[in-house]
């Protein structure tokens, strides 16, 4: 051992430790084993020249003890673009915001589809997100639909469609109501002129009622106008599902649970409730209450979860987007 270089070696007294050899004799310096044990050799045997000392890195390609370490067999690596027999590549995943299409250009069943802003585009009959077209809008934004998924109309579209239809129906009925409206206007203007003359003379009138001759011409004009308006709405809704005003605004009337043009009895109920509330508001004393009810009927779709006015609820209808 006297020719052995100084260093740490297995302690001949305790194999679990290492002991420092100073080149001539064992010292009292000991430490626990660190890492794998060195090559087993008899005490005093020359250390192999190709074996690195503990803690020293081995040279690339160095062989310990003259034995070549066995390498695991390498498999042939496929070249770029070469097809591997029996290998099936995984299906391509759709990029975020892009739908995945199948054989005939239709979105594959069960695959998520995305709308204009990356939100999920729901299937027909399910709640959709957005405020214009199905499947468009911000995620989480609720769009009201019928039970089968048709989008409901907004409040402003209904209002403008009602104004347009009122103008068209008034023009159609003018040949029938024109004479009565003329006489009514002449009597009413004479009444206002007389009231102003009395006020100028210092003897103002205290009457708050219109002269009976005003009602003589006003009532026939109103009834004829309502009849024309009803025929106008009945024919268009039962034949087309929408009046000209609704067609211009892209909306239509249908039963809430059944698609298609509404039946005649449904149109009658719907129109009867709407006009009935308006007529009752003209009755003295109770007219104020019914005027408030008519206002509620017009505003009800703003907060109703089914976007129905009161006359829609009675007739079980919805105004939908086309």
- 246 within 8 A of 156, measured Cβ to Cβ: no
Of the pLDDT bands very low, low, confident and very high (cuts 50, 70, 90), residue 32 is confident
Of the pLDDT bands very low, low, confident and very high (cuts 50, 70, 90), residue 129 is very low
Of the pLDDT bands very low, low, confident and very high (cuts 50, 70, 90), residue 9 is confident
Q: What are the extents of the domains in the chain?
A: 155-321
Helix (H) or strand (E) holding 162: helix 155-200
Q: Between the ranges 140-144, 181-185, 318-322, where is the mean pLDDT highest?
A: 318-322
The mean pLDDT value of the chain amounts to 76
What is the DSSP annotation of 4-47? Answer: SPSEEEE-SS-TTEEEEE-SSSEEEEEEE--SSPPPP--TTPPP
**17 against 228, higher pLDDT:** 228
What is the DSSP annotation of 182-247? Answer: HHHHHHHHHHHHHHHHHHHTT------S--HHHHHHHHHHHHHHHHHHHHHHHHHHHHTSS-HHHH
Of the pLDDT bands very low, low, confident and very high (cuts 50, 70, 90), residue 48 is low
> Per the structure block, which two tokens stand in for 202?
């210092």
Mean pLDDT along residues 84-113: 55
For the chain, the residue count is: 322
Alpha helices in 57-126 (DSSP H): none
**86 against 318, higher pLDDT:** 318
- 214 within 8 A of 187, measured Cβ to Cβ: yes
- Measure the N-to-C terminal CA separation of the chain; round to a whole number of Å: 102
Query: For position 198, what pLDDT does the model report?
Result: 81
Which of 183, 170, 176, 192 lies closest to 214 in space, CA to CA?
183
Mean pLDDT along residues 8-23: 84
Query: For position 232, what pLDDT does the model report?
Result: 96
Distance set, CA 198 to CA 91, 186, 201, 203, 214 (Å)? 91, 19, 5, 5, 19
Q: What is the pLDDT of residues 178-207, one digit of tens each?
A: 999 999 888 888 888 888 888 888 777 666
At residue 105, does pLDDT exceed 60? no
- Percent of the chain clearing pLDDT 90 (strictly above): 36
């Amino acid at each position: 051992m006297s020719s052995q270089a100084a260093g740490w070696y297995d302690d001949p007294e305790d194999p679990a430790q290492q002991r420092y050899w100073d080149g001539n004799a064992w010292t009292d310096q000991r430490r626990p084993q660190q890492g794998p044990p060195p090559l087993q050799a008899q005490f005093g045997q020359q250390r192999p020249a190709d074996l690195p000392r503990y803690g020293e890195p081995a040279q690339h390609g160095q062989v310990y003890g003259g034995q070549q370490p066995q390498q695991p067999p390498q498999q042939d690596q496929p070249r770029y673009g070469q097809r591997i027999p029996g290998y099936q590549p995984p299906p391509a995943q759709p990029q975020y915001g892009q739908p995945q299409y199948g054989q005939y250009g239709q979105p594959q069943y069960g695959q998520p589809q995305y709308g204009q802003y990356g939100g999920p585009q729901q299937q027909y009959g399910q709640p959709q997100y957005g405020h214009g077209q199905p499947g468009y809008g911000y995620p989480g934004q609720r769009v009201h639909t019928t039970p089968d998924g048709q989008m409901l109309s907004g409040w402003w579209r209904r209002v403008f469609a009602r104004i347009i239809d009122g103008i068209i129906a008034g023009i159609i009925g003018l040949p029938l109501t024109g004479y009565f409206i003329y006489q009514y206007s002449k009597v009413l203007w004479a009444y206002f002129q007389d009231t102003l003359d009395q006020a100028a003379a210092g003897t103002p009138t205290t009457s708050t009622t219109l002269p009976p001759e005003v009602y003589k011409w006003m009532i026939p004009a109103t009834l004829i106008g309502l009849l024309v308006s009803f025929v106008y709405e009945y024919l268009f809704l039962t034949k087309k599902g929408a009046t000209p005003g609704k067609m211009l605004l892209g909306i239509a009337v249908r039963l809430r649970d059944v698609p298609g043009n509404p039946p005649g009895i449904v149109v009658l109920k719907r129109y009867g409730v709407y006009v009935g509330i308006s007529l009752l508001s003209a009755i003295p004393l109770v007219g104020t209450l019914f005027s408030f009810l008519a206002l509620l009927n017009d505003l009800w779709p703003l907060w109703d979860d089914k976007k129905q006015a009161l006359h829609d609820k009675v007739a079980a209808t919805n105004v939908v987007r086309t």
